[in-house]
Structure 1
Amino acid sequence: VVTEVRRQGYLKALEIDVYMLRRERQPPESHNEGYAESGQGKGWEALRDTVVVCTRCALHQTRTQTVFGVGNPSADWMIIGEAPGQEEDRYGEPFI
């Protein structure tokens, strides 16, 4: 544990004039409410159907189609990338 005197010494040495302690972290808000009713445990097709009508984040505001994924749904590995860009949205496939 850093004492206040030591902290002030570090801040002065780093020429930091203003320092504020962070607030205590709060757990993130859960976005899973209703997920069980929306297709969980019913397979990839049910999940895809849920994604098509999802409006839980801002992606739905500008998409022309969903970018659900491609490949073997029983694969041992799944690669998850960033949010779809313009080309992914155009073709409906990730990693274009």
Structure 2
Amino acid sequence: MTVPLSFYLILSGVVFLTGLVGVLIRRNIIIILLSVELMLNATNINFVAFSEYFHHAAGQVFVFFALTVAAAEVAVGLAIIIALHRSKSTINVDEFQLLKW
């Protein structure tokens, strides 16, 4: 028994919307980074689902590279969070004005 493609698309949509809500709420930097990762994983679900549906491995290869980039993104993001926390003693996004004119 196989799972229909529409179930994967619904799951991906729910995960993506959860990530989008997390980015829009934006309480602190860690929540924003986790929400971006959720949105990236939602697109990975789509790639794997369509790869299986069309019996082509290109989507799965793309997911492999996307997960590699996501791991590097997490390392750089955590380094930025640590640097900001050391300089400002907070990770609340509303208190940062580094990029404002």
TM-score, normalising length: structure 1: 0.24
Higher relative contact order (CA 8 A, sep 6+): 2
TM-score, normalising length: structure 2: 0.24
Which has the larger helix fraction?
2
Larger of the two Rg values belongs to structure: 1
